[in-house]
């Protein structure tokens, strides 16, 4: 960001939750010269050891307040249901000039918590990098994780224009593609585009696991299509547990759209309606093709 | 197969339906010296032109009977609901020493049709290479398509041991991994491991397509996870239409397993049962990990 940064670089980055996303952000920010020093915070000593060992952070701590005390950029990347605990622990120690952002996959609840705990002290801009993976932890962190990936920012009516501009610059600096959305709009859309696919892939794996438990090894009858279709089900259960709980109302709405479409397929199969079935498959292919670059 | 082939190579291969699978089989068989000449049969003149142009076949024809007349290996790779038409057209022209196989994704109906139309004339061994792709047509054919891929063979009680051995040798020669199954067992298992995932991915794309039609472009809110999870929905509609129709009873059974698992997730979300939800996600991850090499 050197040379193009309207607000200057950051002296010290605090990463609260230094897993795949938090660790990758620190690596990317260091590589681009965005930040001076980095302090990482996590509960697990092993996680912190990896963060030090891989050069993700210069210092580590288990205490969120200690982590943010001298930071002018704070990046919260923890399971979304840990947000309230973390925000309330951090809040008293935050510097007034600090820019705080997060990487949670749901935004309405997080933004409301930021209003409650952080707004009096500093500036918060919610974020959601769509750069998740089936890998987890700082061992899997990569400086190029955000490259060409959508990075949603969810400012509110109260967000200062300058803070949003700084966040956009940060996203651009790490090679992400910034997209703006209102927090509620974000949660509605990703319920359909991200959380529903995850639920479906996980349920598919669960059902096949049950079948295998009953009938014996089914792996010889599986192929690359199934592996691709269910790769996301390898994602961290504690992260996805929180997402599914936090966004359950939007997810149930999305699930109804999906169930209705499944019913159309069942009706066409029962009626042996070859033309109708081909029409449904053709519509699906059309949408899927539209996702390709 | 030279040097290890117990039954000798084949003078002439007839490929009936020269798309991705049929075209790839011809390329692989030629590259390994398994076959002398190749004749390809398809309805579309464009398909046949590509098959000639790419060196998949030496000769082409629209007539299945003409294609098989001098062949000692016949490879049928067409949408499964075209099987009866093709078998009945081929049957009178088949040579008694010909080995006939197919590449259909469902097997019980195909094997029954082979009994009816082909068994009096020559030997048939059903096959299902799990090497499908989101690509289609002879333009996408590759000699290494079957490499390290499961290739299911479905002999019956009447299949001569020597014919099954020859088919296994062919699969090995093209670097596939031969797996044996009874036709009905095959159809039950792939309903769960292949047809259900396809239906689910297609329904997901259909539902998202409907959502996009109502709410505007949702692509900025999609990521690599969704693209991977739905890649199979780019498969050819006319092939999948036939599979879903032909295997609909087994597919409905598999769909019930999946729906039950989805219900477990919904119940856990409604009860805000974090532990239960994590348990479901953990089970899913465990099964998915078991699919990795």
Contacts of A228 in chain B (CB under 8 A): 228-229, 231-232
Angstrom distance (rounded) from CA B207 to CA B212: 9
Contact across the interface for A231 and B288, Cβ inside 8 Å: yes
Are A163 and A125 in contact, with CB atoms under 8 Å apart? yes
At B4 the pLDDT is 38
| Structural element, H or E, at residue B125 | strand B123-129
Contact across the interface for B199 and A245, Cβ inside 8 Å: no
Angstrom distance (rounded) from CA A75 to CA A26: 9
Contact across the interface for B258 and A207, Cβ inside 8 Å: yes
Q: How far is B283 from chain A (nearest CA, A)?
A: 6
Pair B195, B171 in one domain: no
Number of domain units in chain A: 2
The β-bridge partners of B126 are B154
Q: Does A19 fall in a domain? A: yes
- ipTM tops the 0.85 cut: yes
Instruction: Establish if B271 touches chain A: CB-CB under 8 angstroms.
Output: no
Instruction: Establish if B245 touches chain A: CB-CB under 8 angstroms.
Output: yes
Instruction: Establish if A125 touches chain B: CB-CB under 8 angstroms.
Output: no
Q: Is residue B1 scored above 60 in pLDDT?
A: no
What CATH number has the domain bearing residue A278? 1.10.3660.10
Copy the structure tokens of residue A152. 């949603």
Contact across the interface for A237 and B278, Cβ inside 8 Å: yes
Angstrom distance (rounded) from CA A199 to CA B34: 46
Helix axes B248-270, B196-215, angle to 10 degrees: 60
What CATH number has the domain bearing residue A49? 3.40.50.720
Pair A110, A192 in one domain: no
The per-residue pLDDT for range B28-62, each reduced to its tens digit, is 999 999 999 999 999 999 999 999 999 999 999 99
B137-140 contacts at long range (C-beta below 8 A, 24 or more positions apart): B137/B19, B137/B20, B137/B23, B137/B47, B137/B50, B138/B18, B138/B19, B138/B20, B138/B22, B138/B23, B138/B40, B138/B47, B138/B50, B138/B51, B138/B54, B138/B56, B139/B50, B139/B54, B140/B20, B140/B23
The per-residue pLDDT for range B109-143, each reduced to its tens digit, is 999 999 999 999 999 999 999 987 778 899 999 99
Which A residues in the span 202-231 are in contact with B, Cβ-Cβ below 8 Å? 202-212, 215, 218-231
Hey, of A150, A171, A285, A292, which one would you mutate to test binding to chain B, going by the most B CBs within 10 A of its CB? A285
Pair A28, A138 in one domain: yes
Pair A48, A166 in one domain: yes
Query: Of A181, A204, A229, at which residue does a domain stop?
Result: A181
Contact across the interface for B237 and A189, Cβ inside 8 Å: no
Residue of B9, B75, B7 whose CA lies nearest to B39? B75
Contacts of A195 in chain B (CB under 8 A): none
Contacts of A216 in chain B (CB under 8 A): none
At A3 the pLDDT is 36
Instruction: Establish if B255 touches chain A: CB-CB under 8 angstroms.
Output: yes
At B2 the pLDDT is 38
Are A278 and B202 in contact, with CB atoms under 8 Å apart? no
- Residue A178's pLDDT band (boundaries 50, 70, 90)? very high
Pair A15, A101 in one domain: yes
The per-residue pLDDT for range A230-258, each reduced to its tens digit, is 999 999 999 999 999 999 999 999 999 99
Place of tokens 């600096």: A173
Q: Does B3 fall in a domain? A: no
Pair B20, B116 in one domain: yes
Query: Of B124, B150, B182, at which residue does a domain stop?
Result: B182
Which A residues in the span 9-68 are in contact with B, Cβ-Cβ below 8 Å? none
Average pLDDT over chain B reads 94
Average pLDDT over chain A reads 94
Pair B228, B148 in one domain: no
Give whole-number Cα distances, B218 to B46, B233, B281, in Å. Answer: 36, 18, 26
The closest CB to that of B281, out of A177, A229, A237, belongs to A237
Pair A116, A190 in one domain: no
Angstrom distance (rounded) from CA A126 to CA A164: 10
More confident call, A124 vs A133: A124
Q: Does A88 fall in a domain? A: yes
Q: Does B217 fall in a domain? A: yes
The closest CB to that of B261, out of A190, A207, A251, belongs to A207
**How would you list the strands of the sheet with A99-102, edge to edge?**
A59-61, A35-41, A10-16, A73-76, A99-102, A123-129, A150-154, A177-180
Contact across the interface for B258 and A211, Cβ inside 8 Å: no
Q: Does B193 fall in a domain? A: yes
Angstrom distance (rounded) from CA A112 to CA A134: 29
* Domain boundaries, position B227: 186-290
Query: Of B147, B182, B217, at which residue does a domain stop?
Result: B182
Q: Which residues contact A275 (CB under 8 A, 6 or more apart)?
A: none
Strands A99-102 and A35-41, how do they pair?
Answer: unpaired
**Minimum Cα–Cα distance from B261: chain A residue:** A203
What is the DSSP code (8-state) at residue A235?
S
Q: Does A4 fall in a domain? A: no
Task: Give the number of other Cβ atoms within 10 Å of residue A210's Cβ.
Answer: 15
The per-residue pLDDT for range A38-61, each reduced to its tens digit, is 999 999 999 999 999 999 999 999
pTM: 0.90
Place of tokens 């966004």: A247
Hey, of A229, A245, A258, which one would you mutate to test binding to chain B, going by the most B CBs within 10 A of its CB? A229
At B133 the pLDDT is 74
CA dihedral B206, B212, B217, B223 (to 10 degrees): -40
At B7 the pLDDT is 38
Q: How far is A257 from chain B (nearest CA, A)?
A: 6
**Minimum Cα–Cα distance from A286: chain B residue:** B234
The closest CB to that of A208, out of B192, B199, B240, belongs to B192
The per-residue pLDDT for range B130-184, each reduced to its tens digit, is 987 778 899 999 999 999 999 999 999 999 999 999 999 999 999 999 999 999 9
**Minimum Cα–Cα distance from B180: chain A residue:** A220
Angstrom distance (rounded) from CA B58 to CA B71: 13
The per-residue pLDDT for range A254-279, each reduced to its tens digit, is 999 999 999 999 999 999 999 999 99
Instruction: Establish if A251 touches chain B: CB-CB under 8 angstroms.
Output: yes
Angstrom distance (rounded) from CA B202 to CA A284: 5
Q: Is residue B6 scored above 60 in pLDDT?
A: no
Are A75 and A67 in contact, with CB atoms under 8 Å apart? no
Pair B33, B178 in one domain: yes
At B132 the pLDDT is 76
At A1 the pLDDT is 38
Pair A172, A28 in one domain: yes
Helix axes A248-270, B237-246, angle to 10 degrees: 80
Contact across the interface for A287 and B206, Cβ inside 8 Å: yes
Instruction: Establish if A80 touches chain B: CB-CB under 8 angstroms.
Output: no
The closest CB to that of A257, out of B132, B207, B252, belongs to B207
Are A24 and A146 in contact, with CB atoms under 8 Å apart? yes
Contact across the interface for A197 and B150, Cβ inside 8 Å: no
Q: Is residue B231 scored above 80 in pLDDT?
A: yes
Residue of B223, B54, B96, B274 whose CA lies nearest to A238? B274
Q: Does A2 fall in a domain? A: no
Diameter of chain A measured on Cα atoms? 67
The dihedral through the CA atoms of A53, A59, A64, A70 has a sign that is negative
The β-bridge partners of A176 are none
Pair B221, B88 in one domain: no
Q: Does B222 fall in a domain? A: yes
Copy the structure tokens of residue B288. 């998915």
Q: In this structure, what are the phi and psi dihedrals at residue B177, rounded to the nearest 5 degrees?
A: -110, 105
Pair B32, B148 in one domain: yes
Contact across the interface for B221 and A274, Cβ inside 8 Å: no
Residues in chain A, total: 293
Contacts of A226 in chain B (CB under 8 A): 193-194, 197, 291
Instruction: Establish if B103 touches chain A: CB-CB under 8 angstroms.
Output: no
Q: Is residue A82 scored above 90 in pLDDT?
A: yes
């Amino acid at each position: 960001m050197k040379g193009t940064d309207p607000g200057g670089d950051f002296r010290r980055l605090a990463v609260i939750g230094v897993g795949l996303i938090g660790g990758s952000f620190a690596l990317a920010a260091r590589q681009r010269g965005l930040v001076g020093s980095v302090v990482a915070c996590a509960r697990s000593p092993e996680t912190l050891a990896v963060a030090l060992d891989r050069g993700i952070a210069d210092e580590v701590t288990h205490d969120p307040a200690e982590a943010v005390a001298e930071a002018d950029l704070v990046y919260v990347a923890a399971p979304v249901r840990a947000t309230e605990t973390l925000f309330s622990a951090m809040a008293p120690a935050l510097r007034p000039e600090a820019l705080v952002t997060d990487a949670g996959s749901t935004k309405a609840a997080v933004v409301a918590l930021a209003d409650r705990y952080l707004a009096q002290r500093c500036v918060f801009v919610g974020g959601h990098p769509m750069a998740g993976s089936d890998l987890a932890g700082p061992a899997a962190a990569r400086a190029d994780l955000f490259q060409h990936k959508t990075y949603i920012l969810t400012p509110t009516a109260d967000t200062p224009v300058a803070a949003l501009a700084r966040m956009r610059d940060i996203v651009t600096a790490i090679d992400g593609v910034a997209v703006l959305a209102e927090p509620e709009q974000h949660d509605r859309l990703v319920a359909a585009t991200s959380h529903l696919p995850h639920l479906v892939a996980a349920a598919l794996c669960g059902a096949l696991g049950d079948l295998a438990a009953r009938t014996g090894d089914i792996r010889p009858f599986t192929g690359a299509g199934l592996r691709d279709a269910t790769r996301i089900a390898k994602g961290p259960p504690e992260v996805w547990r929180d997402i599914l709980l936090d966004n359950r109302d939007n997810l149930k709405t999305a699930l109804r759209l999906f169930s209705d479409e499944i019913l159309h397929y069942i009706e066409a199969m029962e009626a042996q309606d070859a033309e109708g079935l081909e029409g449904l498959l053709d519509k699906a292919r059309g949408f899927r093709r539209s996702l390709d670059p």
